[in-house]
Amino acid sequence: MEIHFTYLVLPGEDGYPLKRILKEKLSLSEGLIRRAKFVPGAIRVNGLTFLRDRPVTTRFSVQPGDQVEITIPDREPAVIPAQGELDILFENENLLVLNKPAGLAVHPAKGHFNDTLVNYLAYAYPEPPRLIGRLDKDTSGALLAARTALSADRLKQDRERGDVTRIYLALVLGQLPPQGRIDAPLKETREGTPPGDNGHPLRLMKAEEDGMEAHTLFQTLDYTDGISLVKIKLLTGRTHQIRAHFASFGHPLLGDHLYQAFCGITEKDITASRAMLHSYQLTFPDPLSGKILTVQAPLPDDFKAHYF
């Protein structure tokens, strides 16, 4: 049974983000709000999902007199199975490792309800594999998934213990030292960030002393024509950690227009269509046998085109 809520925005609440109204005025939890977000048309203002030249999202700024409406489904919305190409690097009865192409979103979200990796897995497998970790939409490469509940539980525990390790390869602007470590706390900010598709400032990570602890190890493998090929290992897993760390270090990833501009780096024109970041290698124990497995994802053509 669906539950329907309405709220009339009062004077003094001008400019409140919609999420604040839902949480403070309607006392809805993050989980219930998230559940509604994935249902088209479940969150509306004045009966509309597009108002004042902007889509109505949880970041939408309300005005006095606006009628906020939200319909919460009784259950989590089911993933819509959708046919799509899966590039499987390794598979057994317990797990699989996928090679995710750049540009493919991993999880359904607003604007991507049936064209994500999770939708494709739901179509290809009667019992869809559970992803262990994630990659940003524009990041390519290896991504681990468990095929059973037991495998998912054990792999998640292994990941929390640091027994699941990922090596990235990146193309970085400028010449870096042979090796190094970036220790810079990262804090989410919207101050000074450009607007996103919905007109609101994007949420980006910035190196700040009062941010969350973040540590990145890197090794420079080669340097050619102003671009370094870098191998990267994360010691922490913050949002956009690699992109934010290297940009704050003065060496943004090739193609990372967003963090290049955010950090005020204008020395080099970036022509790549995406940030050149690739999940190159995963090492992890098989959840049943305990055997250590290492799987590598070949470099995509666009990555190679800008370096090799």
Q: Report residue 60: phi and psi, to 5°.
A: -60, 135
**pLDDT at residue 77, as a whole number:** 63
- Which of these is catalytic: 66, 74, 136, 183? 136
186-210 pLDDT per residue, tens: 998 887 777 766 566 778 888 899 9
Quick one: CA dihedral 44, 49, 55, 61, positive or negative?
negative
Spatial separation of the C-alpha atoms in residues 116 and 16, rounded to whole Å: 31
How do residues 208-227 score in pLDDT, each as one tens digit? 999 999 999 999 999 998 89
265 vs 181: which has the higher pLDDT: 181
Domains 3-72 and 169-275 share a fold: no
Residue 11 pLDDT grade (very low, low, confident, very high; cuts 50, 70, 90): very high
Residue 286 designated active-site? no
Residues 284, 144 contacting (CB under 8 angstroms): yes
Residue range 233-252: mean pLDDT, rounded: 93
67 dihedral zone (left: phi>0; alpha: psi -120 to 50; beta): beta
pLDDT of residue 69: 95
pLDDT of residue 197: 60
CATH level 2 (architecture), domain 88-162: 2-Layer Sandwich (3.30)
Contacts of 33 (CB under 8 A, 6+ apart): 19, 22, 23, 58, 70
Contact by Cβ (8 Å): 299, 169: yes
| Cross-strand pairs, 282 | 166, 295
Residue 40 pLDDT greater than 90, yes or no: no
Asked whether 57 and 72 are in contact (CB, 8 A), the reply is no
The contacts of residue 27 (CB under 8 Å, 6+ apart) are none
Judged by average pLDDT, the poorest of 31-40, 78-87, 251-260, 298-307 is 31-40
Query: Taking the domains of the chain in order of start, what are their residue ranges?
Result: 3-72, 88-162, 169-275
* CB contact set of 51 (below 8 Å; sequence gap of 6+): 45, 60
Residue 138 confidence (pLDDT)? 94
CATH 3.30.2350.10 fits 169-275, yes or no: yes
Q: 38-47: string of b/e by CB count within 10 Å (b at 16+)?
A: bbeebbbbee
* Euclidean distance between CA atoms 206 and 67, whole angstroms: 35
If you average pLDDT over every residue of the chain, what do you get? Answer: 90
- Give the mean model confidence (pLDDT) for residues 280-296: 96
What CA–CA distance (Å, rounded) separates 297 from 140? 9
**Residue 308 reports pLDDT greater than 80:** no
* Average pLDDT over every residue of 55-83: 87
- pLDDT value for 267: 60
129-138, 160-169, 254-263, 290-299: lowest mean pLDDT where?
254-263
Q: Average pLDDT, stretch 56-81?
A: 86
- For the residues 289-303, what does the mean pLDDT come to? 96
Fold of 3-72: 3.10.290
- The percent of residues above 70 in pLDDT, for the chain, comes to 94
Distance CA 103, CA 85 (A): 13
3-state DSSP assignment of residue 199: coil
Band of pLDDT at residue 272, cut at 50, 70 and 90: confident
Write down the pLDDT at residue 230. 98
